[in-house]
Chains A and B, each alone.
Chain A
Amino acid sequence: MKEEELIVRRIKDGTVIDHIPAGQALSVLRILGLTGKEGYTVAVVMHVPSKRLGKKDIVKVEGKELKPEEVNRIALVAPEATINTIRRYRVAGKLKVQLPDQITNLIKCTNPNCITNKPREPVMPTFLTLSRSPVLLSCEYCGTYISQEEIVGQLG
């Protein structure tokens, strides 16, 4: 039995997000929009020993199969994460997250003079992915670069 299963039991149906960098699980929940009010059973395991990452976090969502397009945005804070779809206690599918080419309405542009930071305008902050490892985004409106540290700072 894996060590995290001594803390949290296996789930029957749902999604397990594995290989989240230690300490980023709450950011992952925030990106997924899981506030705890949706009614799903959610398990968050933090600082589990990991061969690959040293320490890692794991998120388990019981009763909901998350679609890759829902989950891919977590690559901003967890670029190595894997998404396991669980059906009847078995892994029915395994995917590595991949940061989408465009990210809308999740993080703010760090340039205070960017039009996306102007209140009362019909505009959503939108970023283009320039690099996935390390993550580097560019604001679609003003061109400002946003680094991985800045993203983690905003979402953490």
Chain B
Amino acid sequence: MKMFRGRDVLSILDFSREDLEKLFEVTLRIERGELRPRLEGKILATAFFEPSTRTRLSFETAMHRLGGSVIGFGGTEATSIAKGENLADTIRMLDCYSDLIVIRHPMEGAAKLAAEVARVPVINGGDGSRHHPTQAMIDLYTIWKEFGRIDGLEIGLLGDLRYGRAASSLVYGLSKFKPKRVLLFSPPSLKLRKEVRDSLVKAGIALEEREKLEVGSLDVLYVTRIQKERFPDPAEYEKVKGSYRLTVSSLEGAKERLIVLHPLPRVEEIDLEVDETPHARYFQQAANGVFVRMALLSLLLGGTR
């Protein structure tokens, strides 16, 4: 297991199973009130070049709850980026002002560049359609907490598996464990990218790709939004828009213990009525986000000592 302190969090692939289990245990102890890490005097910088509700606010909430403070921006209009400053220079400034930087950026690899430039740890809060490691940590923690394990479960992913960074990151994260099988449900044009799929193949995890959702064997169903903003061609988006939707009737025949997750924001892919079923777990999943991020921030900045 690698030390957490001072590490960058760019991809879930950089974390071993032991690292993730350590994170889950610290998270659970924080959630139960058994551990109260403190980060007084530490400053978190949030550099959000793309819209965000949960990621940014839950990082900020986590830092405030740990007794630290937060600086940053959400949207580039009010910053020097609007004057043409490049990413590297913006990060260099935040590096001088803070103890840790969370970055979200529309371009893939932006967080890696930020980490190369910054001396303080950098957390990738989502870059383009590739990585969103802390979302995957939250998703895996939610499953782990619910079932007490990830190994041996049947996990289905439904939706835009091509452009959705949450889905890609969850698949990468699952490759660190031993799920019984991973089922990928998506329209043909939104299938999981080969490099992501390969991570499961290399890990020897059984996987199946299907167009039509079948819930019968699943323990977990992870639903994602169609990432409209990442389609290179709007006509392609129009073709797949509304091509899947989880309803109460599509959950007929599901296992009693099936949980439905969604990284949120949800648009139309989960009917509001599903919220009332015992399967819905996406709001708890979002609530877990604060605890996971508290655990991660305190591990990276040495607050658990």
Contact = CB atoms under 8 A, between A and B. Distances in A.
B109 interface: yes
Contact of A113 (B86, B112, B128, B194): B128
Given A115-B108, A141-B112, A121 B130 contact: no
A142 B128 CA distance: 9
A154 interface: no
Given A141-B113, A144-B195, A145-B195, A118 B107 contact: yes
A123 interface: yes
B87 interface: yes
B56 to A, nearest CB: 20
B117 interface: yes
Given A138-B195, A144-B195, A145-B194, A115 B86 contact: no
Contact of B86 (A114, A120, A139): A120
Interface in A99-156: 111, 113-116, 118, 120-123, 138-145
Contact of B106 (A113, A121, A143): A113
B9 interface: no
B109 A142 contact: yes
B110 A115 contact: yes
A121 to B, nearest CB: 5
B287 interface: no
Given A122-B117, A123-B113, A142 B108 contact: yes
B88 interface: yes
Contacts of A122: 88, 113, 117
Interface size class of B (residues with CB under 8 A): 10 to 19
B74 to A, nearest CB: 20
Contacts of B130: 142-143
A105 to B, nearest CB: 15
B107 A114 contact: yes
Interface string B185-227: 0000000001100000000000000000000000000000000
A115 B116 CA distance: 13
A88 B177 CA distance: 60
A121 B112 contact: no
A115 B195 contact: no
Contact of B88 (A116, A121, A139, A144): A121
Contacts of A145: 194-195
A148 to B, nearest CB: 15
A121 B88 CA distance: 6
Interface string B80-102: 00000011100000000000000
Contact of B113 (A111, A115, A143, A144): A115
Interface in B106-142: 106-110, 112-113, 116-117, 127-130
Contacts of B110: 115
Nearest to B129: A113
Contacts of B86: 118, 120-121
Contact of A141 (B109, B129, B195): B109
Contacts of A143: 108, 130, 195
Contacts of A139: 109
A114 B108 contact: yes
B194 A115 contact: no
A142 B10 CA distance: 11
B87 A118 contact: yes
B108 A111 contact: yes
Contacts of B88: 121-123
25 contacts: A113-B106, A113-B108, A113-B128, A114-B108, A115-B87, A115-B107, A115-B109, A115-B112, A115-B113, A115-B127, A118-B86, A121-B113, A122-B88, A122-B117, A123-B88, A140-B109, A140-B112, A141-B108, A141-B112, A141-B113, A143-B108, A143-B130, A143-B195, A145-B194, A145-B195
- Pick the 10 closest A-B CB pairs, nearest first: A141-B109, A142-B108, A115-B109, A142-B109, A115-B107, A115-B110, A120-B86, A115-B113, A123-B113, A122-B88
Given A113-B106, A121-B113, A123-B109, 20 more contacts: A113-B108, A114-B108, A115-B107, A115-B108, A115-B110, A118-B86, A121-B86, A122-B88, A138-B195, A140-B109, A140-B112, A141-B108, A141-B109, A142-B108, A142-B109, A142-B128, A142-B130, A143-B130, A144-B108, A144-B195
